[in-house]
Amino acid sequence: MIRTWFALGALALSVVGCATYREDLNRGQRFYEENEYERSLAIFRVLEADMDSLELADQARYAYLRGMADYRLGFRADARHWLAVAKAVEQEHPGGLSAQWKQRLDEALNDLNQEVYGGGERLDKSRSTATETTKGPEQAPPAPAAPGKCNANKDCAEGQTCQAGECVTI
């Protein structure tokens, strides 16, 4: 008899625990929908450790809302991570996200992936100062530097390093 009551008590606690996580998710979603992204993100960050306690549909919803809150607040790396998680969970277990959310997820993820993988239209906006150093077949090797002068560490004697075009003893 005592075992039965103990088992029922444990079952009740586990059901209450899952309901609490779902309530936190619903509260975070409400803040998100009210454009209070900081509050929603705070709730989602606390809920993150218990995400695996949510049902799969709720996990997709959590990852989507977490990613979109991060996206709205400018935490782009975190947004990309969570939106990718949402997409993966939704693909494996459909039904957690509405069609409108799926469309928004794809648009945001494409925008974030554009930053990582780049695209032709962004090359002209690059502030990179890198120069091509690969030698083509028509290029001759650079002339050796004058003694004491260098282009790279290999131009200096052992125990020296190239700094500002001059060999300096370490």
Q: What is the pLDDT of residues 60-97, one digit of tens each?
A: 999 999 999 999 999 999 999 999 999 999 999 999 99
Tokens of 98: 């509405």
Number of domains in the chain: 1
Domain span at residue 24? 11-118
Burial 13-30 (b: 16+ CB within 10 A, else e): eeeeeeeebbebbeebbe
Q: Give me the amino acid identity at 17.
A: G
Domain assignment of residue 113, yes or no: yes
What global pTM score does this model have?
Answer: 0.61
Q: What confidence tier does 138 reach under pLDDT thresholds 50, 70, 90?
A: low
Which one has a higher pLDDT value, 120 or 3? Answer: 3
Residue 2 placed within a domain: no
* pLDDT of res. 118: 76
The pair phi, psi for residue 166, each rounded to 5°, is: -130, 145
Q: CATH number for the domain including 67?
A: 1.25.40
Looking at the domain assignment, is residue 74 inside a domain? yes
73 touches 65 (CB < 8 A) = no
